[in-house]
Structure 1
Amino acid sequence: MKLSDLIGEIKGVGASRKVLLNATNIETVGDLLSYLPTSYEDSTKIKSITEIYELLSAIPLWEIPKLRVTVRAMITKVSSFRTRSGMFLIKITLGSVNNETKASAVWFNQQYIQSHLFEGKEYVFYGRVQKEGSTFLLQSPKFEEVVPSVALKKLGKITPVYRRVKSITTTYFNNYIHTALEETTIKEGLPAQQRRRYVLDDMLTAFCGVHAPTSRSEIESGYRRLAIQELLELRESYEEKFALRCLPANIEVAEKDLERTIAIWIDKLPYTLTTGQVTVLSQLSKELTSGRVIDTLLYGDVGSGKTIVALLLLFACAQAGKGALFLAPTTILASQHYKTAIMICKLLGLEKEVEVVEVPAGNKLKYENVVRKLFIGTQAILHHKELLSNKDISIVCVDEQHRFGVEQRLQVRNQTRHVLTLSATPIPRSLALSFLGFSQALYLEEKPVGRQEVITKVVPSGKESATYEWIRKQLEAGKQVYIVFPRIADAEETEKQSLLSMAAQLQNTYFKGVTSELLHGGMKEEEKKGVMADFSSGKIRLLFSTSVIEVGVDVANATIIAIHGAEWFGLAQLHQLRGRVGRSSQQSYCLLFTAENHEIASERLEFFSTHHSGLDVSEFDLKHRGTGTLVGREQSGMSELKIATLTDLALLKEAMALYEELKTKNIVIPRYFGVKSVNGRK
Structure 2
Amino acid sequence: MQTESPDWLRWQKALAVEAERGFVDLVGKQYRFSEFLSLSFGKPPAGLSLEERRRWQEMAANFASYPQMTLAERQDLVAATRMYIHKTFVQAKKEPEDKEPYIPKPKLARTTPIVQSKPAEVYQRIAPTLDQQLAKLPEVGIRRGGYLERLGLYSVRDVLFYYPRDHIDYARQVNIRELQAGETVTIVGRVHRCNCFSSPRNNKLTILELILKDSTGSIKINRFFAGNRYANRGWQEQQKRRYPTDATIAASGLVKENKYGVTLEDPELEILASPGDTIDSLTIGRVVPVYALTEGVSADMVRQAVIAALPCVKQIKDPLPAALRKHYDLAKLTDAIANIHFPPDSDTLAIARHRLVFDEFFYLQLGLLQRQYKAKQIQTSAVLAPTGQLIEKFYNLLPFTLTGAQSRVINDILTDLQKPAPMNRLVQGDVGSGKTVVAVVAILAAIQSGYQAALMAPTEVLAEQHYRKLVGWFNMLHLPVELLTGSTKAAKRRQIHAQLETGELPLLVGTHALIQDPVNFQKLGLVVIDEQHRFGVGQRARLQQKGDAPHVLTMTATPIPRTLALTLHGDLDVSQVDELPPGRQKIHTTVLTAKERSNAYDLISREVAQGRQAYIVLPLVEESEKLDVRAAVEEHQRLQESIFPQFQVGLLHGRMSSADKDAALTQFRDNQMQVIVSTTVIEVGVDVPNATVMLIENAERFGLSQLHQLRGRVGRGAAQSYCLLMSSSKTETAVQRLKVLEQSQDGFFISEMDMRFRGPGEVLGTRQSGLPDLTLASLVEDREVLELAREAAEKAMAKDPTLSRWSLILKELEYRYQRLMGGTILT
Alignment pair present for 1:358 and 2:469:
no
Q: CA deviation at 1:280?
A: 1.7
Q: Using the alignment, how far apart are the partners of 1:491 and 1:656 within structure 2? A: 42
Q: Using the alignment, how far apart are the partners of 2:456 and 2:606 within structure 1? A: 39
1:128-143 matches, within 5 Å, as 128-133=254-259, 135-143=261-269
Structure 2 length-normalised TM? 0.68
What whole-Å deviation, never above 9, does each CA across 1:289-341 have from its counterpart, x for those lacking one? 12210122222221122111111111122122222222334555444434433
Counterpart for residue 133 of structure 2: 6
What whole-Å deviation, never above 9, does each CA across 1:516-573 have from its counterpart, x for those lacking one? 2223456565654454344334442211223332232222342332334667767765
Aligned partner of 1:651 among 751, 766, 785: 785
Q: What SS is found at the alignment partner of 2:775?
A: coil
Q: Using the alignment, how far apart are the partners of 1:472 and 1:660 within structure 2? A: 57
Confirm or deny: 8 A CA contact 1:325 1:375 kept in the other structure.
yes
Alignment pair present for 1:159 and 2:323:
no
Alignment pair present for 1:668 and 2:801:
no
Q: Using the alignment, how far apart are the partners of 1:480 and 1:214 within structure 2? A: 65
Q: Using the alignment, how far apart are the partners of 2:696 and 2:657 within structure 1? A: 24
Aligned partner of 2:152 among 19, 22, 25: 25
Confirm or deny: 8 A CA contact 1:560 1:588 kept in the other structure.
yes
1:179-578 matches, within 5 Å, as 179-184=308-313, 185-233=315-363, 243-253=374-384, 257=387, 269-341=398-470, 344=473, 351=477, 355-359=479-483, 361-362=488-489, 363=492, 364-365=494-495, 366-367=498-499, 368-370=501-503, 373-382=506-515, 385=518, 388-390=520-522, 392-414=523-545, 415-425=548-558, 435=568, 437-449=570-582, 451=584, 454=587, 460=593, 464=597, 467-468=600-601, 471-472=604-605, 474-476=607-609, 479-485=612-618, 494=627, 498-521=631-654, 528-564=661-697, 574-578=707-711
Alignment pair present for 1:127 and 2:245:
no
Q: Using the alignment, how far apart are the partners of 1:23 and 1:228 within structure 2? A: 28
Alignment pair present for 1:89 and 2:207:
yes
Q: Using the alignment, how far apart are the partners of 1:680 and 1:283 within structure 2? A: 30
Please tell me the residue identity of whatever aligns with 1:250. S
Q: CA deviation at 1:33?
A: 0.8
Q: Using the alignment, how far apart are the partners of 1:248 and 1:525 within structure 2? A: 41
What whole-Å deviation, never above 9, does each CA across 1:554-608 have from its counterpart, x for those lacking one? 22342332334667767765443232123346242142557x9999999987887
Please tell me the residue identity of whatever aligns with 2:445. A
Please tell me the residue identity of whatever aligns with 1:289. Q
Residue 18 and residue 383 in structure 1: after superposition, are their counterparts in 2 closer, same or farther (change >3 A)? Answer: closer
Q: What SS is found at the alignment partner of 2:356?
A: helix
Counterpart for residue 224 of structure 2: 108
With 301-310 and 236-245 compared, the bigger mean Cα shift is at 236-245
Please tell me the residue identity of whatever aligns with 1:125. A
Confirm or deny: 8 A CA contact 1:78 1:118 kept in the other structure.
yes
Counterpart for residue 760 of structure 2: 623
Q: Using the alignment, how far apart are the partners of 1:556 and 1:492 within structure 2? A: 29
What whole-Å deviation, never above 9, does each CA across 1:346-394 have from its counterpart, x for those lacking one? 8xxx826xx14133533231214437933334444445845x432x220
Confirm or deny: 8 A CA contact 1:435 1:652 kept in the other structure.
no
Tell me the matched-pair count. 653
Confirm or deny: 8 A CA contact 1:42 1:158 kept in the other structure.
yes
Counterpart for residue 116 of structure 2: none
Structure 1 length-normalised TM? 0.81
Alignment RMSD (CA, Å): 4.3
Please tell me the residue identity of whatever aligns with 1:248. Q
- Of all paired residues, the percent bearing the same amino acid is 28
Confirm or deny: 8 A CA contact 2:425 2:575 kept in the other structure.
yes
Q: What SS is found at the alignment partner of 2:642?
A: coil
With 286-295 and 465-474 compared, the bigger mean Cα shift is at 465-474
Please tell me the residue identity of whatever aligns with 1:117. Y
Residue 24 and residue 521 in structure 1: after superposition, are their counterparts in 2 closer, same or farther (change >3 A)? Answer: closer
With 131-140 and 528-537 compared, the bigger mean Cα shift is at 528-537
Q: CA deviation at 1:193?
A: 0.9
Residue 479 and residue 244 in structure 1: after superposition, are their counterparts in 2 closer, same or farther (change >3 A)? Answer: same
Confirm or deny: 8 A CA contact 1:235 1:436 kept in the other structure.
no
Confirm or deny: 8 A CA contact 1:401 1:427 kept in the other structure.
no
Q: CA deviation at 1:72?
A: 4.5
Counterpart for residue 43 of structure 2: none
Q: Using the alignment, how far apart are the partners of 2:296 and 2:540 within structure 1? A: 43
Counterpart for residue 70 of structure 1: 186
Confirm or deny: 8 A CA contact 2:527 2:543 kept in the other structure.
yes
Confirm or deny: 8 A CA contact 1:323 1:373 kept in the other structure.
yes
Residue 660 and residue 124 in structure 1: after superposition, are their counterparts in 2 closer, same or farther (change >3 A)? Answer: same
Counterpart for residue 59 of structure 1: none
Q: What SS is found at the alignment partner of 1:142?
A: strand
Confirm or deny: 8 A CA contact 1:484 1:562 kept in the other structure.
yes
Please tell me the residue identity of whatever aligns with 1:667. W
Please tell me the residue identity of whatever aligns with 2:526. I
Q: What SS is found at the alignment partner of 2:816?
A: coil
With 164-173 and 316-325 compared, the bigger mean Cα shift is at 164-173
Confirm or deny: 8 A CA contact 2:134 2:305 kept in the other structure.
no
Residue 292 and residue 127 in structure 1: after superposition, are their counterparts in 2 closer, same or farther (change >3 A)? Answer: same
Please tell me the residue identity of whatever aligns with 1:97. S
Q: What SS is found at the alignment partner of 1:419?
A: strand
Confirm or deny: 8 A CA contact 2:467 2:483 kept in the other structure.
no
Counterpart for residue 176 of structure 1: 305
Counterpart for residue 71 of structure 2: none
What whole-Å deviation, never above 9, does each CA across 1:199-222 have from its counterpart, x for those lacking one? 222111111220121232322222
Confirm or deny: 8 A CA contact 2:175 2:214 kept in the other structure.
yes
Residue 173 and residue 532 in structure 1: after superposition, are their counterparts in 2 closer, same or farther (change >3 A)? Answer: closer
Residue 128 and residue 576 in structure 1: after superposition, are their counterparts in 2 closer, same or farther (change >3 A)? Answer: same
Q: What SS is found at the alignment partner of 1:412?
A: helix
Gaps of 5+ in 2: 1-127, 231-235
Confirm or deny: 8 A CA contact 1:299 1:425 kept in the other structure.
yes
Counterpart for residue 579 of structure 1: 712
Residue 134 and residue 447 in structure 1: after superposition, are their counterparts in 2 closer, same or farther (change >3 A)? Answer: farther
